Amino acid sequence: MNSNTREEFEALDQIAAVLARIEDRKLIREFLICILTKYEIKEIAGRWELVKLLYDGMSQRRIAEQLGMSLCKITRGSKELKKRGSAFKTVLDSYVEHDTPEDD
């Protein structure tokens, strides 16, 4: 069961809508830095690395060793990636298709 409230989903929908309209990567990055704590950024960055490694076919145990993450968190990511219509997979497909170096 999902524990997110209706208000939380509405807020996520609003943020997603705004970010979808913005084409400025630096602005989006600055927004994320402003809205997220250092811990949250670290967690999101770790999960992004996790799903990229899963997508590339690395074993869960190897990912656990490499990233120092629990197998439980990795298994959750793996299940999400395998779901029909997975947002993880769709986003990663797009990332791989349009993989460009970051503009710093």
Say what the pLDDT of residue 88 is: 87
**pLDDT score of 1 more than 50:** no
Q: Please compute the mean of the pLDDT values over residues 7-36 and round it to a whole number.
A: 96
Evaluate whether 90 touches 55 at the Cβ level (below 8 Å): no
**Higher-confidence position of 1 and 51:** 51
**pLDDT score of 104 more than 60:** no
Q: What is the distance between the alpha carbons of residues 71 and 90, in angstroms, rounded to a whole number?
A: 23
Domain parsing of the chain, residue ranges: 1-35, 39-99
- What's the pTM value of the predicted model, to 2 decimals? 0.80
Query: Could you give the dihedral angle defined by the CA atoms of residues 94, 95, 101 and 102, in that order, rounded to the nearest 10 degrees?
Result: 100
